[in-house]
Structures are given as C-alpha cells and as structure tokens.
Structure 1
C-alpha cells in the first residue's frame, strides 16, 4: 500500500514515517518515532530527492513506484550520505539503470565508501551555484558543509520556491499522517523535539549553520522540505528564527534549568529548596531534571533553551558525579556556550565536584559562574538554606538585568 502526498502540483512526498525505531543513530531515544523524507519531482525529467533508511525500504519503493505511474527516475539527487537517507542508493541504481546520481565530489567519495558500485557515466558532479534543469523546474545547488556532515548540500527549486534543506530544519517524531507544519500544533507537539534534534545532531556546528542561513537569506523561499519532520509552507520565519537562535548559542528563553546529580537524595533536596526560593523571588520559569533519570539528549535540548543553569552535584570518588560529568562532556562536545551557571556541590568528607565543574566550565566559551557557590557536607543545614536563598536572589537579579 502506497502512502504519498503532494507538496505541489508535481512534487510528491514519497518518504516514510517510522514509529518502531527505538533510538536515532542508536543513541537518541525516539518516543514518537521519526520520518525519513524523500521527494519526487515529476517534470520532463524525473528527480528523486534522497532515499530513505533501510528499515523502511519496502514502503519507500512502493511509494516511489506508485508516484511514478510507469515512468523511470532520471536523477537521484543526494544531499546527504548518512545511511538514514542514503541507504537505498545502490538498490535504486540497480532498479533504474538509466538513473544518474547528482552530488558533489565528497558525496561521490562517500557513495564508494558505503557501496560497491560502478558510477562510470552515472555520476553528475555539481558545485556551489550549479543548476540542473528538469523542464519547468530547475534545481540550484548550495553547499552546506558540516550541517552536519562535510558532504552536505541543499538545493533550491525556483519554480516552487522550495528549499530542499537536507538535515537542516529537521525534527524528531513521526507526523501521524500529517505532512505540513500547519497540519500539526508545532509549538505544542514538536518544538521540543525540533530543538532536541538540532541541539544533539547539528548543535556542534553553529558557525556552519549560520553560514547556510546567510545563503538561504538570499533566496526567495516559500517552502522548506527537510529530511526529517514536517514540510514548512507557512510561518517559515518562526522556524528560521529558532535556527538563528540555536545556531548562535543564544538562549531561547529566560529561565532557570536545574540539573541534579544526587546519590541518596540530599543534593536533590537542596535543589528543591533552591527551586522554591527561585519561585519566591518571582522567577516564573524553573525546570528541574535528575541527570540519572533523564536521557542526556533531553538535557542538552534544555540547556539550548534556558539562559541560566544550576548544576547541583554530589562528589563521587573524589570527582564529579558520573552522570553529571557525562552531561558536561556532551555540552563541551556540542559547543554549548553563553550561559550563566551556578554550582551547588555536596560531599561527605571532601567536597570536590564544585572545583572540578568550574574547571570544566572554564574550557567552554562565555560560561559565567554566578556566586555564591553553595557547599553541602552530607545534608542540607540551616546555614546552607540561607546561602541557597541568596543564590536565588542573584539569579532573579541576573534574569531582570537580561530583560
């Protein structure tokens, strides 16, 4: 059974949603699944925009065959070689012997790395600004290296003013039969997953994402067709603005994110006291997570969202509590920066996590540590409660100054 929809008169969505996959890249939880988007342009020449993951090959091929109605594919445009989009390249080369592959030189190299194929007379190499005429449609190619692999490119169809954006503007989550952004409540149901996708997959490459956004700003875009998530045909400025914010490492919202690494609960109770004190100081947005219970991909998404962060952390084997250390390591790897951070440390005989966290934060850009640092020995005492209240006042004042 085919499942296809048109995104314009002669461009058909032939992608597939997958609710069965447990973890994206075998790493990031997918409670709502993911889509593998692919698009078929039916013009004088037929162009398929990317393939799909091997797990959905049968449905993907069925969608293509139904949309083709007996025609063949003239061009397979490969924007990104990651296997969730490129897994079916060889299968399509075998199935459509007249089909040529369109990509840049790095894409050609990666095709040979993934597949044992002969591309003699079947590879069309393109570079920045090159065009591919299909008839009424003409694709212009824009290189987007490191968003988020080095070979990535995007393409622009001037006829429909569509940007085929590769992994840029992608979102975790299956769409439950929807296709377009205005068919879902994106801010309510998908924004968090869009941020989690960006922060964990593309977040390290903010500078490269900014470069692509500058190129895209010179195009008249009315529709964005990414490789994951909904096709954007309305309110494009909303999502583009999110990408501007995330890729510049600016906080999306003013608020306090409290992350807790607690062994027996004493550090967590201190964090609870701080959260209550923040509320008493009029801080409206306070979000708390236990780093041992929440997958780190969600924590990374939240630190991309909030302006202020509290790391409440027990000392473990004279070091940082391991789950907190993992989170900080991920922050460093993904270039998290430009946040205001406070530290609450705990240790029964030699509290050391605070000093060690400061050393790790010093390796990152524009991470301002707010004082006072609160030190707990085993359990929260009355004098530390007052220190936590003072820290809450510092946070409240800092948030007001940023308004």
Structure 2
C-alpha cells in the first residue's frame, strides 16, 4: 500500500503586489502519466494585484480547481481578475482555467501565444476573450509593465515567459522549474537548494531533455533583462540567487558532466547480465567512481525518470541487456530509445550482452548509442553466464571506460 502525503496549499508574497499560489501535488505518481515522481511536484500560479485589476499567471491541475478558487479568494475577489496569462497550455498549468473563468464571470481577457489561444477552445470548450501576444511585445496591464518573451519548445512550441519589469520578476513557466515539493517556497536556504537541484536535473532530463538545444537560445534572449526574481511554474522561486538556476539549466543544456560518475543500466532476465554488471560496478568503485546502478529484473523495476536524471550528467554509461527473441530485450530498447532523444551525446559507453543462440542484442544497442553520438569504448558479448575469462574482460573494460580521464 502506498501512503500519500496530504496535499498542501500556500500563499506568499513574491513582491509587494505579486503573490505565489502554490499547491504541492502529493497524489500524482507519474508526471504526464509517464515519469515516476515519488518526490511529488508543485504547481505554481501567480497573482499580480494592480491599480485597476488583477492578473492571474497560469493555474493548477483540474483536480485542484476548487482549491485554487478558494486560494485566490484569500487574496482578492475573483471578479477582480481582469487578465489571465497562459505561459503554456499543458493541463497541469491550465486545467483549472475553466473554473477560474466561471467564478470571474468570464470577464478576464486571456493573454497567450497565438497557438495557445487556438488550443484554449479545443482543450476546454470555453468561450473566453483571448488576445494573442507576440514575442518581445510590451504591454501596460493594470498599471504594470509586462514584456512577453517566447521560449519555444521549452517544452511545447507555444511556451512563453513574462518579464514583470517594475520588480524585475521573470515569470518563467516550465523554464527553470524542477520536480519535488521543497520545504521552502524561496531559495533562501542553502540546504533546501542543494536537496532540490537533483530534482531539477531529473525534471530537465525527463521534460526538457529532447529540446535542450533551445535552452541556450532562451537564456540568450533574456540576457539583457534585469532579473531579480525567477518565478517558475514548478518548484522553488529564486530570489536570493536567480542566476544560479539559469547557470544550472545552461550547464545541463551544454552537456555538463560529473567527472567520474557512471550510470549502469542493467536489464537481466535470469541474472546473467546482472552478474556481469555488478562485476563492472565493483571494479569502477575500486577506482573511486561514483556509480549509480538501475537493475531491471524479475523483482525490481526502478524509476526511469530517476535513471534519466543520473544518466544526464554521467561521464560514462554501462548498458547490460540480454538478447530476447533474436532482438534487444524490450525494456532495454525502450530505455535506450529515450536516452537517444533526451541525453547529450559524447558519453563513454560500455555495452554488455548475453545470448543463447544469437548475438544481435549487444550489437544493436551499440549501434543505437553510436548513432546518438556516444563513444562505444567496448562491446562484450557472452553466451550464457560469464566464465572466468569473460569476468576478467569485464574488469578490463571497466578500467578502460574512464581511462581517458
């Protein structure tokens, strides 16, 4: 039985007129029904109280629509909302929108990317007032200066961010976000930040990874802004050191690696590949490597999203998988297909594969990873269980994996 943590709701001031409305979703087990997040995730909406109205930036998941309405009422009358900015139409941020429009008597004007304006009616069948905003467009809304900056493919094509110029706040949507429900709202506590950053990397790998080349473009577009606060749609708000999360994202996008870190991906039906993978693991640990191992067996099915987070900044990867029906073991193929799309190239790779009557799996895995730009240091194939000669070759291959460092 899985024990769920209680869902928590927060309201706090980011500036004297900007509020964060945060829900900690402890009920979700799979982000996007795909990525395992035992650590949970937050949905951050923001409410800007202006001179002659209020602006709501994004919303929450549909299941929390009533709670968002109540949270808004803790700050203002919902009928005072004159504008709603949609940074990204994915339903974890827009799902509560129909309810918010309803309690605001459908008076708010929705500001969004032109594509998102088209999606709104299709997603929710609501007849809302919409106004497309354009890249670098500046508007004075409720007496506040806003600049809208497109951030395409981070991680949908219609993603935008908003720069609230009066206070130097970048409301960044999914950009600069991360998984987990941090103990604090802001980045003021170093211990909280250090605990949070690995969840940012996991989020980046899972959600942003395929489109990582667009991160640098977005960062360059924002380079001239006086950013004093970064307020993303997931995770911590960065007010103590907003540059830290920008640099962290930039480094991930550029394929930054942790020297000496090796992630082992092992799929093993009856223990042969697992035995081989553990020989390599032990040899690497003797050399002082930071080894993470993910074992997919008849009793173990680890988190794919945790795996991606570790693979993302590893210096090297070990892939061990058996042949299955004259092909690659299915779960190993699926994982490596994801790695091909989401993980930066140029990692050192050792491929290990067992077989009974055909050697296809290991060769195909090596081809897949080579085609993605990784450096195949060695390919070890063995029939049945590794004998003493094969075990020695595994140790030699482990030493070769990081020998260039």
Query: Does TM-score exceed 0.5, indicating one fold?
Result: yes
Q: Which runs of 5+ in 1 are unaligned?
A: none
Give the count of matched residue pairs. 393
1:271 is aligned to: 277
1:256 is aligned to: 262
1:99-121, CA deviations, whole angstroms, 9 ceiling, x for partnerless residues? 111112111101111122334xx
Conserved? CA contact 1:206–1:249, under 8 Å: no
2:22 is aligned to: 15
CA distance in 1, matches of 2:315, 2:78: 55
Q: How does 1:1-400 map to 2 (within 5 A)?
A: 3-44=10-51, 45-68=53-76, 72-97=80-105, 98-119=107-128, 122-134=129-141, 137-176=144-183, 178-183=184-189, 185-280=191-286, 282-292=287-297, 293-334=301-342, 336-364=344-372, 366-371=373-378, 373-398=379-404, 400=405
Query: Structure 2 length as normaliser, TM-score?
Result: 0.91
Tell me: CA distance 1:100–1:70, structure 2 relative to 1, closer, same or farther (3 Å).
Answer: closer
Bigger share in strand: 2
CA distance in 2, matches of 1:345, 1:30: 30
Mean alpha-carbon deviation: is it higher for 329-338 or for 214-223?
Answer: 329-338
Conserved? CA contact 2:68–2:96, under 8 Å: no
Q: In the TM superposition, what is the alpha-carbon distance from 1:376 to its structure 2 partner?
A: 2.1
Conserved? CA contact 2:153–2:159, under 8 Å: yes
Q: Which runs of 5+ in 2 are unaligned?
A: 1-7
Query: Structure 1 length as normaliser, TM-score?
Result: 0.92
1:235-267, CA deviations, whole angstroms, 9 ceiling, x for partnerless residues? 333322221122223324442111111111121
Tell me: CA distance 1:53–1:26, structure 2 relative to 1, closer, same or farther (3 Å).
Answer: same
Tell me: CA distance 1:133–1:21, structure 2 relative to 1, closer, same or farther (3 Å).
Answer: same
Q: In the TM superposition, what is the alpha-carbon distance from 1:92 to its structure 2 partner?
A: 2.2
* Paired residue secondary structure (1:37): strand
Conserved? CA contact 1:254–1:307, under 8 Å: yes
* Paired residue secondary structure (2:188): helix
2:4 is aligned to: none
CA distance in 2, matches of 1:336, 1:324: 18
1:329-383, CA deviations, whole angstroms, 9 ceiling, x for partnerless residues? 111232542211111111133232211112212331x211003x22222112111
Tell me: CA distance 1:348–1:9, structure 2 relative to 1, closer, same or farther (3 Å).
Answer: same
Conserved? CA contact 2:265–2:294, under 8 Å: yes
CA distance in 1, matches of 2:260, 2:240: 27
RMSD of aligned C-alpha atoms? 2.0
Conserved? CA contact 1:170–1:227, under 8 Å: yes
CA distance in 2, matches of 1:115, 1:268: 48
- Runs of 4+ residues deviating >4 angstroms: none
